[in-house]
Structure 1
Amino acid sequence: MDTALSRRTFLGTAAAAALAFTVVAVPRARAEVTEERHRAVVIGSGFGGAITAMHLGRAGVQTIVLERGIRWPTGPNAETFPRMFAPDRRASWLSPMPVMTGAPPIPSEPYTGLMERVRGNGIDILCGAGVGGSSLMYHGMTLQPDAERFAESVSAGIDYDLLDREYFPRVARMLRVAEIPDDLLGHVRYRSSREFLDRAAREGFETFRVPMSIDWDFARRELTGELKPSYTTGDVIYGVNNGGKFSVDVTYLAAAENTGNVNVAPLHRVTDIERASDGSWVTHVDRIHTDGKVLERKRLLSEALFLGAGSAGTTRLLMKAQGKSLVPDLPDEVGTGWGNNGDRVFSVTTPLSSPGEFQGGPACVGMKDYSDPAGALMIVTGPVPWPADIGTTSVIGLGVVPGLGRWRYDSAVDDAVLHWDQKYDRALTQAIETRIRRVAGPAALVVDINSVDVNTFHPLGGAPMGSVCDEAGRVLGQRGLYVVDGAKIPGSTGACNPSMTIAALAEYAADEIVRRDAGVVF
């Protein structure tokens, strides 16, 4: 492959980006080192990275977005994503085995798949890989915390009324959020959701339908047989094959690319970040093949560097930079303030009630309880595509937890490792389980899945606001370095799914950065 061609493809237009996807599919015998200059570099294409890139592009800032995974184009009756109980190489990030809890242990060749398991000491993190980040896998829950919970768990310094008036609505409009309509909720496929609502209401809990970033007409078309089932069987954990989900790749990132100023570079894995002697930023990148082989090594020089690789990715890059003195004078608090958003998954088997087979999804109904001394909590249904009615469904609890987890750099493996103790959220977990048992009834068998496999899909913190960055994500003492994702949120997002809060804060920060820093800092 011609090196000049490779360089041109990643510096060109959206059409060139498509060519780049084709070109990298052929392994090279050795890895070359090339150097590029960009005005702004964004690491990661999830909510934080994509929203930041869109605003930079609209402001006329030439920006490159680095994404380690591939594009996952989908649409009606596509087979883009694997099924939950039939995982293949697409399911996991460069792993010979599936990494999700409960997945059948079917071996495959390593591939730049959808889900990475970041091993920690006391807890693991499950995070997304691909253009669109974890929005490819998330159910679509788009929940806004209230003012009290936001101040308690996210920030007491940010004007919540401003977020409520301007930024949360922006996100809702872009993601086209909508609750499950009556006709779908009344269908037999959604019996488990209706039963959950009825039982929770009888116990006196506040129930609700979850705002979802999906077009419910796609679920209707599944029920008429026009589309193969995905939503209506709850088979969405690896992504929705039929389309209709307004994930980041088809919303914010598409808007960013449409400005003509933003180029998305898939299969670009960032290994380190560094501050050069002149104050500019150096991003060390491996351009890889889908089997993980390094095809080319790059040094990207930029005036501004935006970290949007998620709590795990962003924090690990900062910790490596600190541990190897690649970025002098990083705040001492880098690696602190981490939490799991109170996540807990439970299996519920009720012998006297049938939830049905292929329970409809995504996680579209829930209940709240803010009264427990252990902290505010929320419980939502988590439908699983069981091929037969075995009386079992699943529910997901989450709540407010302190950000007591900490990352530590380990020079032996040149990486940061997360340290977490289950005592940090034990009281909340017990409170969640107590509520679930009340709703499920005394005859139900309730099993805490995460007591066996401790993990979270909702990592938060590692570069918290106040001690590592300001409220716009500017890293303290580091001109031109920004944290734009969930790493800046200390532990939880007010007893709800974190995507809405991460997105609203990214919108808020992007306005501030474009207004004050563009043309001055970069």
Structure 2
Amino acid sequence: MTLESSSTTPRVSRRTFLGAAATIATTASAAVVAPAPAVARPPDVTERRRAVVIGSGFGGAIAAMHLGRAGVDTLVLERGIRWPTGPNAETFPRMLSPDQRSAWLQPHPVMTGAPPAVFPPFTGLMERIPGNGMDILCGAGVGGGSLVYHGMTMQPNGENFTKCVSSRIDYEQMESVYYPRVARMLRIATIPDDLLNHPRYSSSRRFVEMADAQGLRTFRVPMPIDWEFARRELRGEMRPSYTTGDVIYGVNNGGKFSVDVTYLAEAEATGKVEVAPLHRVNDVERAPDGTWIVHCDRIGRDGTVLERKRIVSDALFLGAGSPGTTRLLVKARAKNLIPDLPDGVGTGWGNNGDRIFMVTRATDSPGDWQGGPACVGVKDWDNPAGALTIVLGPVPFPLDLHTTSVIGYGVVQGLGAWHYDGFRDDAVLNWNQAYDRGLTEAIRMRIEQIVGAGFGVSAIDVNAFDTNTFHPLGGAPFESVCDTAGRVHGQRGLYVLDGARIPGSTGACNPSMTIAALAEHSMDTLVAHDVGTVF
């Protein structure tokens, strides 16, 4: 993919600068002042649709697919661009050399530990949303967060699902129907023996050996990956990406069944669904006649507003992810754009218990260019401190630094809340770091048990220096804001289909599979009961 720079800055010599300054001074003394050029206002456009979906990640894409199959004319609004991949593509930036593709409309990288760089703002892959006590890192682009996640596709057990997600949704039905449906669509598979036994994956093998020695329950993480692509890399047929762990900004070679090439492709194939990239939603509103109005900007790749749009629909599906959906709802309530929104809007937020540790072992080498993605882990779901999952996160270090990353998830209460800031005209997260302090210590203790603690071993809590999460959940939780199908209480035709409705965590698992399975569950209900009646 060729990406055009949004601006250029020519170099100006001192002589040229002084000459230009003299000309300006002479012109001014002659009282000949040219008027400033008029700035054209972007045109206003109104559209009418039967259904609008905001966001193209797991929740939005699955909603769009089911609506399309039901024959509903549907528009999917996505703020980012498409990121097509293929063998030996250079679609995505490398972790250690981030450029403008790495950040959403920021002139610098936004991810923790990224090398410093300066570049023109671009509608890149990852946005950093600052909060009070916690920042959020979330994906941008057609396919949403599925573009930039490792791909850990994990299902919680019934106890953790009921405790963390919802006690009103039948877990047996989720386990027999909806989780398997997601697994089939994403073609999930675990790393095969021949790859795990390859030298590139020595860090993964060593992690499993150390955990097994402690009597812990190890497992291979299900991934939406065609592992033949990793084999092709090792055969020298493609430039390495999987096999060097360089996947955090996306996988250039393809073979990853992200949402854009699965659910969204199925949605567009119905002929009823249009995906509109580079559409940034600012506000949502309920009209007096009960229809829904989306106020959005069609933007250029540098963020320039090209059109201001007012899109009217009979049904509105919010799938912009926990921060995107929550911010829209909190703004709509504060500005009275949607009267009578539930009091629970903005509450029940959590970070899925995320914690990242950098582990260094002076006497044990994980190697350089550690093969990935994060394919092996430990299920510690009987831990007295609450269910934990510990996963090795290989890193693409070109040198053997005796260091790798280890990721922990756990059960955290959804105690964070979002509040409207009128000065910014935006919602802001408030999170007390005491909420997950005990969980963090439990994760640290289990990691140190696995890798060893003492002389020559260190486990550094990365999030203690840069407190953030890749897995935001909550803000429009089940029961207080929406029912089990995602219908917002008291708001006919308004639905939440993403992680905003999960209060805090998904039972010590990466959230993607549960978000997808819940969206499948909801859309079966909505197609059966709301299509043709509500909209």
TM-score, length basis structure 1:
0.94
Matched residues in 2 for 1:514 and 1:213: separation?
Answer: 27
3-state SS of 1:48 partner: helix
After TM superposition, give the deviation of residue 76 of structure 1 in Å.
0.3
Aligned position for 1:446: 459
1:395 pairs with 406, 410, 427, which one?
A: 406
* Residues 282-303 of structure 1: per-residue CA shift (max 9 Å, x gap): 0001000000000000000000
Matched residues in 1 for 2:485 and 2:182: separation?
Answer: 17
Aligned partner of 2:238: which letter? L
After superposition, residues 189-268 of structure 1 pair within 5 angstroms as 189-268=200-279
Aligned position for 1:4: none
Residue 119 of structure 2 corresponds to residue 108 of structure 1: yes
Matched residues in 2 for 1:62 and 1:343: separation?
Answer: 38
Aligned position for 1:169: 180
3-state SS of 2:219 partner: strand
After superposition, residues 266-415 of structure 1 pair within 5 angstroms as 266-415=277-426
Q: Which moved more, 1:366-375 or 1:341-350?
A: 366-375
Aligned partner of 2:326: which letter? T
Aligned partner of 2:170: which letter? D
Residue 95 of structure 2 corresponds to residue 77 of structure 1: no
Residue 129 of structure 2 corresponds to residue 118 of structure 1: yes
2:524 pairs with 495, 505, 511, which one?
A: 511
Matched residues in 1 for 2:213 and 2:439: separation?
Answer: 22
Matched residues in 1 for 2:40 and 2:337: separation?
Answer: 29
3-state SS of 2:444 partner: helix
After TM superposition, give the deviation of residue 369 of structure 1 in Å.
1.1
Matched residues in 1 for 2:450 and 2:257: separation?
Answer: 32
Matched residues in 2 for 1:147 and 1:302: separation?
Answer: 37
Matched residues in 1 for 2:363 and 2:187: separation?
Answer: 38
Matched residues in 2 for 1:403 and 1:45: separation?
Answer: 24
Aligned position for 1:521: 534
Residue 486 of structure 2 corresponds to residue 473 of structure 1: yes
Matched residues in 1 for 2:104 and 2:40: separation?
Answer: 23
Matched residues in 2 for 1:317 and 1:123: separation?
Answer: 19
- Larger radius of gyration, structure 1 or 2? 2
Aligned position for 2:32: none
Aligned partner of 1:503: which letter? A
Matched residues in 1 for 2:61 and 2:468: separation?
Answer: 26
After superposition, residues 122-133 of structure 1 pair within 5 angstroms as 122-133=133-144
3-state SS of 1:35 partner: strand
* Residues 19-54 of structure 1: per-residue CA shift (max 9 Å, x gap): xx99x99xx953111100000000000000000000
Contact kept in structure 2, 1:235 and 1:385, CA below 8 Å: yes
Aligned position for 1:487: 500
Matched residues in 2 for 1:182 and 1:197: separation?
Answer: 13
1:46 pairs with 54, 57, 66, which one?
A: 57
* Residues 261-285 of structure 1: per-residue CA shift (max 9 Å, x gap): 0000000000000000000000001
Matched residues in 1 for 2:94 and 2:265: separation?
Answer: 26
3-state SS of 2:325 partner: helix
Aligned partner of 1:488: which letter? R
Matched residues in 1 for 2:348 and 2:462: separation?
Answer: 25
Matched residues in 1 for 2:118 and 2:153: separation?
Answer: 34
Unaligned runs of 5+ in 2: 8-38
Aligned position for 1:8: none
3-state SS of 1:425 partner: helix
Aligned position for 2:71: 60
* Residues 187-239 of structure 1: per-residue CA shift (max 9 Å, x gap): 01100000101101111110000000000000000000001000000000000
Aligned position for 1:14: none
Matched residues in 2 for 1:346 and 1:146: separation?
Answer: 25
After TM superposition, give the deviation of residue 375 of structure 1 in Å.
1.2
After TM superposition, give the deviation of residue 422 of structure 1 in Å.
1.1
Aligned partner of 1:294: which letter? V
After TM superposition, give the deviation of residue 371 of structure 1 in Å.
2.8
Matched residues in 2 for 1:429 and 1:488: separation?
Answer: 24
3-state SS of 2:201 partner: helix
Aligned partner of 2:46: which letter? E
Aligned position for 1:3: none
Aligned position for 1:500: 513
Matched residues in 2 for 1:200 and 1:422: separation?
Answer: 29
Matched residues in 2 for 1:433 and 1:199: separation?
Answer: 16
After TM superposition, give the deviation of residue 457 of structure 1 in Å.
0.2
Unaligned runs of 5+ in 1: 1-20
After TM superposition, give the deviation of residue 370 of structure 1 in Å.
2.1
After TM superposition, give the deviation of residue 105 of structure 1 in Å.
1.2
1:97 pairs with 75, 93, 108, which one?
A: 108
Contact kept in structure 2, 1:472 and 1:512, CA below 8 Å: yes
Contact kept in structure 2, 1:375 and 1:401, CA below 8 Å: no
Contact kept in structure 2, 1:115 and 1:129, CA below 8 Å: yes
Aligned position for 1:135: 146
Aligned partner of 1:192: which letter? S
Matched residues in 2 for 1:461 and 1:148: separation?
Answer: 19
* Residues 383-429 of structure 1: per-residue CA shift (max 9 Å, x gap): 11001001000010001110000000111110000000111111110
The alignment of Structure 1 onto Structure 2 pairs a total of residues equal to 499
Contact kept in structure 2, 1:222 and 1:232, CA below 8 Å: yes
1:455 pairs with 468, 473, 482, which one?
A: 468
Contact kept in structure 2, 1:335 and 1:407, CA below 8 Å: yes
After superposition, residues 11-50 of structure 1 pair within 5 angstroms as 29-50=40-61
* Residues 435-479 of structure 1: per-residue CA shift (max 9 Å, x gap): 111111123111000000000000000000000000110000000
Aligned position for 2:26: none
3-state SS of 1:149 partner: helix
Matched residues in 2 for 1:260 and 1:248: separation?
Answer: 18
Matched residues in 1 for 2:107 and 2:386: separation?
Answer: 39
State, as a whole percentage, how many aligned pairs show the same letter. 70
Aligned position for 1:7: none
After TM superposition, give the deviation of residue 373 of structure 1 in Å.
3.1
Matched residues in 2 for 1:460 and 1:249: separation?
Answer: 22
Matched residues in 2 for 1:140 and 1:267: separation?
Answer: 25
